[in-house]
Structure 1
Amino acid sequence: MPSWKLVSGLFIGFVGSLVVLVGVSYAMVSIPNENDAAKSQNNVYYWADGKQMVATGTGINRQNIDISQIPDAMQWAVISAENKSFYQDSGVDPMGILRAVANMARGGQTQGGSTITQQYVKNTYLSQQQTLTRKFKEMFISIKVGTKLNKKQILQGYLNTSYFGRGAYGIQAAAQTYYGKNAVDLTPSQCAVLAALLKGPTYFDPAGNADLDPSATPEANKQRSSERWAWILEQMHNDHHLSDTQYQEAKAHYPMPDGRKATRGMTGQISYLVDTAKKYVLAHSDITEAQFDRGGYQIYTTFKKDKVNALSAAVKKVQAQRLDPKHRDLDKYVQFGAASVKPNDGAIVALYGGDGYENGHFTNNADTSGVPVGSTWKPFVLAAAMEYGTYNSEGAGISPLSKYNGNDHLKVRKPDGSYYLNKDNSTFYQNNESPHPWGYITLRKAMEQSINTPFVQLGVDVGMTHVRDVAKSAGILPQSMSVDLNPSFAIGTSTPSAIRMADAYATFAASGKQADPYSVTAVKTNGVDAPSFTKPKPSPKEAMDPNIANNVTDVLQNVIQNGTGQNAKSLGRTAAGKTGTTDKNKSAWFVGYTQQLSTSVAMFRENPKDHKLLSMNGTAGKDSIHGGDIPTLVWTEYMKAALKGANDLGFPSATEIGKVQDEAGAPSPTPSVTITPSQTPSNSPSPSPSVTTPSPSPSMSDTCQWSWGNPCNGNANGGTNTGGTTGGTDPSPSVTDTTGTGGNTRGNGNGTIFGGPTG
């Protein structure tokens, strides 16, 4: 056993060494200068070919000002909200530091300082490495700052270096960015709004930051900002920094900040490309937004300049041809979002995000949420049916030749034989766009003509959880899918982005291999790979059986050749795709692909005041806009340019899959419904197709064998291949073109419990 003298000596030696270590460390650290925080560099973005796209941040948006130029209300707003004991404390929160150090030692997330002094030190500390060494050094600097600088100097430094969002560092830049005035002229109410931003500009900027986080919508951010604004004013009043009169005046109305403004070089599609790449970097590294905006990064993207230009040109060309907002009110507020992804890779080669920051459009329509996809969802239902079968197929996948009732206004049967009901307990009926009596038709024909009733019943028979799982495997994010897995889920109530829809269809194009979409291949600082950007190029993984994907592709080829997507035939090469239009005509989509590219195009109208979707009935002078119309024209125009000079690779052959499992209750033998072509396709809408009297036994078109790739010359559905289609180049849908709504007749557009996008 060691003697007490030895133990005491060791203890005294340890304490002495610790004191010396602390003393030396304290002496060696220097007090930061707020001017050092202004040292910044550009962020430079590069195209996929390595050529420079744009350099952003040509000088940090910051101007230091003296404390005398910072309103008392601004000073007290941050003190009341962030650090009430600022003028009494030592500037360091020992328990907060210990928690941060312990958390880092365990490998957890780092934590910021809890006092204004510590935040000031963090703001001016240019090295952003999250290490224990840095944390200890930061602690010693904070202690030294607290003893060497007075509180006014610390507060001045804090307000000159804090990040307020939109690239604005410091209160002067924030005042100009958000209110177009100097800091000295800010009102107490405006000061409270700016103080709220210090909690996190991504979530408290009323303009929204949905490109950085889908939850940071303008509506959600405005709500968060106004609530914290009111709370800060209340705290200032409680702390006696606002008189009763000042408080009542300040809280009388929320002072809405100015909208975003375009910065130099951030025009056209460049702004959306930069936002997409920035969002990807922040999501796949530990770089904070404030650190990123200080600059010094080189970001190498997947975007191809020629394809980006081609996509923008396609949108502009079709807009000019079909829309006239100056003379037609219903053409106002129409927007497009589009994305093009490389199958079996995930690289985003092009996107269209909107009219550009310079025109006041700051939301990236290619990566937005909230626009229902309608019938472009149906391929996921078909894929789920081929993989899982239905509740009465004994687990065996079913064939696309299975027949379901395609008539309009049908009751939807639950697996137990009962029918779905509305909220008022009345019977729920699923509608099509047209009342045409299709009778029992194959799923292939139902996809071709985008008929709702077969897919709603099929979705129920397969199980909506299976449909959801297949969509997720294909690349759709769970948070963009409808929570309610009611019958309408099968026909497109979900709201994935254009990027995710292009990526999910790329899974079909790649014979079932899915790769997450990505926009950045490398991030460098001073020419060296940034260690915190660790996301490698996604590795394709098998999301579904190759033959299931190939069968979906085979069916979707028929949509273009004989169905609602015939406007895409002018591409002149092998392609597959699906149209989609939603309830009340609030959005229209076309998603299609070749082996080289998968591209989605969304069209919608949005109220600029509340960002709610508006009906497109009457837009472009049409009763309704269909996915097979304007979106398909944009898609085709782009794909012609994007694939110019590329080989037509076709698609892998699909082999016979599953078994023919007709809908429960289908007559046996199934009567045929033969559609006779009423006229040769022309530039005028086709009249309603005639219907022959069902024969008591299957006709040849019902019984011919589907030779995958040559589906009985298009007649394996019990009808001709031209019945009810729009015809080659006819931009106007015929009465049986079921890609759109024609008002409120798609899906359940009658206001019942399952109302939603369906087309």
Structure 2
Amino acid sequence: MGRAEARQARQRGARRARKSRPSGIRRFFTFKKMLGTFLGLCLLAMGAFFVAYLLVPVPEANAEAKLQSNVYKYSDGKLLAREGKVNREIVGLDKIPQDVQYAFVAAENKTFFEDSGVDIKGTLRGLKNTLTGQGKQGGSTITQQYVKNYYLNQDQTVSRKLKELVISLKVDRKREKSEILAGYLNTSYFGRGAYGIQAAAQAYYGVDAEKLNVAQGAYLAALVQAPSSYDWAVASDETKETVTNRWNYVLNNMVEESWLDKSTRDSLKFPAPQAPKAPAGLSGQAGYIVEAAKQELSRQGIDKADLDAGGWTITLNIDSKRQKELEGAVQKQLEDELDRKGDKVDATVQAGATSVDPKTGKVVALYGGVDATQHWLSNATRRDYQPASTFKPVVFASALENESETQDGDPIGLNTVYDGTSKRPVEGSDTPFSPQNDLDKSYGPVSVQTSLNRSINSAFAQMAVDVGLDKVKETALELGMPDINFPERPSISLGVMGASTWDMAGVYATLDNHGKKVTPTIVGKAEHKDREFEVQDPIGSQVISRETADTVTAGLTGVVKNGSGIAAKSSFYEAAGKTGTSEKNRSAWFAGYTPELTTVVALFGESPKDGGGQVSLTGTAQAGRANGGGFPARIWADYTLGALNGGSDAEFDLDVAEIASPDPTPTETETETEDPTPTPTETETETEDPTPTPTDTGSADPTPTDEFPTPTTTITPPTGTFTPPVEPGDGDPDKDTDRRPPQP
């Protein structure tokens, strides 16, 4: 071989050697090195995860996840209102049908009952589905979703995801699967503002969770994946097809897992949910009712903070039918007659009412005002107005209970005769008092029955003194009146203290219940998963004797049959009641009852200006005097007839010591003046403050009270021809005398 050939051979060998040696990059990425690096990273990740597992604790639940609404229901279980920042009512698995539970597992995590809380395959599948546009099953397990909802937040970050994985493993080890599933169902968001399956069941199907069927449950399970898109009410045709497919997917998975029989599955039809409804809020009467319930719960020991935390299901005593009847009666008999925007007097009128079952003490209906969002103060429970002559039966009850006598030593009863002379000074009192009767009318000798019928001030002022003012107050408090601005002066007989329709309904219900104490109660049951609450018994002890209560009832039946409360008279029920109108005609009342129902209705004159203040009701609906025998009695009659389903054959079962004799003919000539100016013996203080405390006087500024109104045929057909008495009058001390009621 020549030198040339040898050189060429050496060059070829060098080239082959260079080709056989790896390049710099290839030398670095050898198989062994890559495998070692991969294993090292895995070990590092496992170590980091182990450290994280040790260091990341299971945190306290986030505040939002624990928030619940309070649910208020009518006595028949119908939803009245929800109150709270979050529309959620936590329920246990025992309140969720098992096939509905399985529907969620089939939709979100079929291996839930076997996995360890984290499904790696599911996570990878979820990533794949997201990238490919498929959405049949997400990557997170039910445990992970529960952890995210209950302990963490919705942030899409690596750190949050890492915490979710770690906590999910720990939660799965420490908690039962049933507890995790319940937590998931109660924290998931379903759209329509509904958090948790109970709120979702109400929002989409108008039922409680325990009433859901498997088809409905499958829809809700499908909905969780995309609640804003999958809501049937807003979904496009294309989306509806997607939703239907996912619904089928859920059911098919249930069959596959043997959680649903195939024949049952084949018979199911897609359950289209109801259209969205406005949340059951606190507008209308709901706000007044809820506030009354909260006040009652507070009085019975539930702390406000405890109630505000939510989670209460409160079943009220409110009867949905009777509530509707009361609202309708106010609308028909009052609101339809008012011109609130065009008439300054009508703009001041506020109506309130409380209706009680006297046998149980349950508040079955309540009217707080035009709307709780427009007039926040409840006219049913406010105590800043005087109950006026509706207090007179309390004076008579005290006289009977204490076996009191007149100044002449005669026992006081329905037939006891008093001097009905207007501005007659009371006898036996250290405080001079000369009350004026309505229109300054004098009746001469009159029985107590007549004094009730005509609400004669002079007779009851003297009776209060005869009984003893301290004893009258004692009886009033025992019957349930609040101790507010309660004077121990002769003017106590005219009801010058503060009271609400709620308070007076309790007093009159006690009379109706034969003297056994009735405390109006609006809450029937209050339930919470973490605590127990027992509602106090509304029926108490015997506070006055049956004979006393029944004798007062006998007297009050005369007020309805022949007196100032005749607008409440009907042949379709038996009734007892009393009218009342307070100082300067600022409030007008009718408190009445049948053997089955006690209801108090009142009107209040309230200035619409900032700061309010009490104003006269005179001229309401351009009808002159807004006395107790007018609008309040007509509302009472309209409501009572409807609440009793058109009437009742029930009669008062009375145990009375005496029966009232017919009204005697007044023996003294009535005196009627255009501008009576009696000489008061004690100065009266006039004020526009919400709780005026008038002192005893003969009424320097008389205003109208309970007169004999024209009967209305819109309530009940009259049983005969009614001839109004010659002498109108309730006779509270301060009547306007400028107008008389229209006569038939």
Closer, same or farther in 2 for the Cα pair 1:538/1:330, shift >3 Å? closer
* Partner secondary structure for residue 345 of structure 2: helix
Q: Distance in 2 between matches of 1:341 and 1:462?
A: 29
User: CA contact under 8 A between 2:708 and 2:724: conserved in structure 1?
Assistant: yes
Corresponding residue for 1:515? 518
Counterpart AA for 1:432: N
Closer, same or farther in 2 for the Cα pair 1:588/1:497, shift >3 Å? same
1:439 to 431, 439, 444: 444
Closer, same or farther in 2 for the Cα pair 1:633/1:539, shift >3 Å? closer
Corresponding residue for 1:490? 493
1:501 to 482, 499, 504: 504
Corresponding residue for 1:267? 283
User: CA contact under 8 A between 1:438 and 1:673: conserved in structure 2?
Assistant: yes
Q: Which runs of 5+ in 1 are unaligned?
A: 1-26, 62-123, 126-261, 422-427, 661-669, 679-686, 689-723, 747-759
Corresponding residue for 2:83? 56
Closer, same or farther in 2 for the Cα pair 1:411/1:32, shift >3 Å? farther
Matched, 1:631 2:632: yes
Partner deviation per Cα, 1:222-257 (whole Å, 9 max, x = no partner)? xxxxxxxxxxxxxxxxxxxxxxxxxxxxxxxxxxxx
* Partner secondary structure for residue 398 of structure 2: helix
Corresponding residue for 1:564? 564
User: CA contact under 8 A between 1:338 and 1:498: conserved in structure 2?
Assistant: yes
User: CA contact under 8 A between 1:571 and 1:639: conserved in structure 2?
Assistant: no
Within-5 A mapping of 1:510-659: 510-526=513-529, 530-531=531-532, 533-570=533-570, 572-608=572-608, 609-644=610-645, 647-657=648-658
Corresponding residue for 2:380? 366
Within-5 A mapping of 1:120-519: 265-285=281-301, 287-358=302-373, 360-390=374-404, 398-415=412-429, 420-421=431-432, 428-478=433-483, 480=484, 482-519=485-522
* Partner secondary structure for residue 410 of structure 1: coil
User: CA contact under 8 A between 1:299 and 1:520: conserved in structure 2?
Assistant: yes
Quote the offset at 1:273 in angstroms. Answer: 1.2
Corresponding residue for 2:200? none
Q: Distance in 2 between matches of 1:49 and 1:372?
A: 35
Q: Distance in 1 between matches of 2:575 and 2:554?
A: 10
Closer, same or farther in 2 for the Cα pair 1:432/1:394, shift >3 Å? closer
User: CA contact under 8 A between 1:566 and 1:729: conserved in structure 2?
Assistant: no
Counterpart AA for 1:340: S
Closer, same or farther in 2 for the Cα pair 1:739/1:546, shift >3 Å? same
Q: Distance in 1 between matches of 2:521 and 2:55?
A: 44
Counterpart AA for 2:431: Y
* Partner secondary structure for residue 614 of structure 1: coil
Closer, same or farther in 2 for the Cα pair 1:394/1:413, shift >3 Å? closer
Corresponding residue for 1:36? 63
Partner deviation per Cα, 1:124-162 (whole Å, 9 max, x = no partner)? 99xxxxxxxxxxxxxxxxxxxxxxxxxxxxxxxxxxxxx
Quote the offset at 1:36 in angstroms. Answer: 2.7
User: CA contact under 8 A between 1:582 and 1:740: conserved in structure 2?
Assistant: no
Q: Distance in 1 between matches of 2:77 and 2:409?
A: 51
Closer, same or farther in 2 for the Cα pair 1:275/1:434, shift >3 Å? same
Larger Rg: 2
User: CA contact under 8 A between 1:562 and 1:725: conserved in structure 2?
Assistant: no
User: CA contact under 8 A between 1:571 and 1:636: conserved in structure 2?
Assistant: no
* Partner secondary structure for residue 570 of structure 1: coil
Identical-residue share of aligned pairs (%): 33
Partner deviation per Cα, 1:100-147 (whole Å, 9 max, x = no partner)? xxxxxxxxxxxxxxxxxxxxxxxx99xxxxxxxxxxxxxxxxxxxxxx
Q: Distance in 1 between matches of 2:453 and 2:406?
A: 25
Closer, same or farther in 2 for the Cα pair 1:31/1:375, shift >3 Å? farther
User: CA contact under 8 A between 1:314 and 1:638: conserved in structure 2?
Assistant: yes
* Partner secondary structure for residue 411 of structure 1: coil
Q: Structure 1 residues 40-49 or 558-567, which shifts more?
A: 40-49
* Partner secondary structure for residue 381 of structure 1: helix
Within-5 A mapping of 1:589-738: 589-608=589-608, 609-644=610-645, 647-657=648-658, 673=666, 725-726=708-709, 728-729=711-712, 736-738=727-729
Corresponding residue for 1:224? none
Counterpart AA for 1:274: V
Counterpart AA for 1:49: D
User: CA contact under 8 A between 1:398 and 1:658: conserved in structure 2?
Assistant: no
Quote the offset at 1:429 in angstroms. Answer: 2.2
Q: Which runs of 5+ in 2 are unaligned?
A: 1-53, 89-149, 152-277, 674-706, 715-722, 738-744
Counterpart AA for 2:293: A
Q: Distance in 2 between matches of 1:30 and 1:382?
A: 72
* Partner secondary structure for residue 553 of structure 1: helix
Quote the offset at 1:595 in angstroms. Answer: 1.2
Closer, same or farther in 2 for the Cα pair 1:292/1:672, shift >3 Å? closer
* Partner secondary structure for residue 329 of structure 2: helix
Quote the offset at 1:406 in angstroms. Answer: 0.8
Closer, same or farther in 2 for the Cα pair 1:281/1:401, shift >3 Å? same
User: CA contact under 8 A between 1:626 and 1:733: conserved in structure 2?
Assistant: no
Closer, same or farther in 2 for the Cα pair 1:671/1:378, shift >3 Å? closer
User: CA contact under 8 A between 1:399 and 1:658: conserved in structure 2?
Assistant: no
User: CA contact under 8 A between 2:486 and 2:498: conserved in structure 1?
Assistant: no
Closer, same or farther in 2 for the Cα pair 1:643/1:625, shift >3 Å? same
Counterpart AA for 1:737: P
Quote the offset at 1:392 in angstroms. Answer: 5.6
User: CA contact under 8 A between 2:322 and 2:365: conserved in structure 1?
Assistant: yes
Q: Distance in 2 between matches of 1:727 and 1:658?
A: 28
Quote the offset at 1:623 in angstroms. Answer: 3.3
Counterpart AA for 2:522: S
RMSD (CA atoms)? 3.6
Quote the offset at 1:397 in angstroms. Answer: 5.1
Question: How does the TM-score come out when normalised to structure 1?
Answer: 0.55
Counterpart AA for 2:619: G
User: CA contact under 8 A between 2:473 and 2:486: conserved in structure 1?
Assistant: no
Matched, 1:46 2:37: no
Closer, same or farther in 2 for the Cα pair 1:510/1:30, shift >3 Å? farther
User: CA contact under 8 A between 2:579 and 2:590: conserved in structure 1?
Assistant: yes
Quote the offset at 1:473 in angstroms. Answer: 1.8
User: CA contact under 8 A between 2:518 and 2:540: conserved in structure 1?
Assistant: yes
Quote the offset at 1:611 in angstroms. Answer: 2.7
Closer, same or farther in 2 for the Cα pair 1:500/1:280, shift >3 Å? same
User: CA contact under 8 A between 1:580 and 1:590: conserved in structure 2?
Assistant: yes
* Partner secondary structure for residue 377 of structure 1: helix
Quote the offset at 1:637 in angstroms. Answer: 0.7
Closer, same or farther in 2 for the Cα pair 1:548/1:30, shift >3 Å? farther
* Partner secondary structure for residue 357 of structure 1: coil
Quote the offset at 1:550 in angstroms. Answer: 0.9
Counterpart AA for 2:479: A
Q: Structure 1 residues 379-388 or 273-282, which shifts more?
A: 273-282
